[in-house]
Structure 1
């Protein structure tokens, strides 16, 4: 059975655009997924990247065009300038970690709900009430937002270290069976082909 380590940030627009396709691909091939939220700004600093606000204007302009085009291509709602971006990624990431440890809900749905809150609904996912609503909507106990914070912090930091060690340098980033790396929501088709033995 194949396994996918999924490195992502809860504020990444490209991770939002991935939608539920990773879960669909994993189900199709009987693969398992470990969700590994991380601090993408720290990841950029560790792997030679630059935060969006510090990029050359030509890169910023291209990013703005590409995000809008990709959202249209995928038929997804998207707000290029959300009211609460960037925001503190840690509280929502801790909630994802707690939910993954607890089980009992739809983890992919939780992550998508958090990112939709940022990129469509203009909500601040650093806020407790927003996180709890997303947890509840995905079938988890909303009190998970208040529990396991120490474990969440440790795991969040470990995820960053594991991402760097695995060669992950952006989000979304997928590592299949510890060796095959795929960067970006536009590489999900390649993961599908790889798992089918065709790539």
Structure 2
């Protein structure tokens, strides 16, 4: 069974636009996915990237055009100026980490619900009430919002170190652990699909 380490940021529009395609690909090939939320701003700093706030206006304008095009292409609603962005990724990331450890709920659904909250629902994913609501809706104990703080903080930091060591530098980023093949971006999921088919 192939294994995919999935590095992403809960405020990432490109992770949002990946939708459920990773999970569909993994199911088709019997692959396992480990969800590894990271602080993308720190990942950019560590790997030569540029934070959005520091990017040239031309790059940000093009980013907006691409987001609009992909949103239309994938038929996924996306607000180019969400009410809560930038947003602290730590609380939602801690909740995902705690839920992954606890098991028993819909983890992919939880991940996607946080991404959708930012880009399609204008919800604040750093808000405790929103986090509890998303946990409950995905079949997890809402108390994980509090119970998972220590393990969440510890794992969140470790995920960043692992991302740097593994060669990830943006999001979404998919690494097939058996082969070391890396795929950056929701527009590379077809390549991931083909790679898994060839294993």
SS of the residue corresponding to residue 124 of structure 1 reads coil
Matched ranges for 1:27-106 at <5 A:
27-106=27-106
Could you list the runs of 4 or more consecutive aligned residues of structure 1 that deviate by over 3 angstroms after TM superposition? none
How far apart are the structure 2 equivalents of 1:148 and 1:62? 38
How far apart are the structure 1 equivalents of 2:196 and 2:7? 18
Superimposed CA distance per residue, residues 109-159 of structure 1 (whole angstroms, 9 cap, x where no aligned partner): 001001111001101000000011111111111111111211110100000
Matched, 1:125 2:110: no
How far apart are the structure 1 equivalents of 2:24 and 2:138? 17
In structure 1, the residue matched to 2:114 is 114
Aligned length: 198
Superimposed CA distance per residue, residues 23-69 of structure 1 (whole angstroms, 9 cap, x where no aligned partner): 01000000000000010000000000011111011100100000010
How far apart are the structure 2 equivalents of 1:139 and 1:84? 25
In structure 2, the residue matched to 1:196 is 197
How far apart are the structure 2 equivalents of 1:49 and 1:103? 34
Matched, 1:19 2:19: yes
**TM-score of the aligned structures, taking structure 2 as reference length:** 0.98
Structure 1: segments with no counterpart, 5+ residues: none
How far apart are the structure 1 equivalents of 2:162 and 2:85? 25
Shift of 1:83: 0.4
Shift of 1:189: 0.7
In structure 2, the residue matched to 1:156 is 156
Structure 2: segments with no counterpart, 5+ residues: none
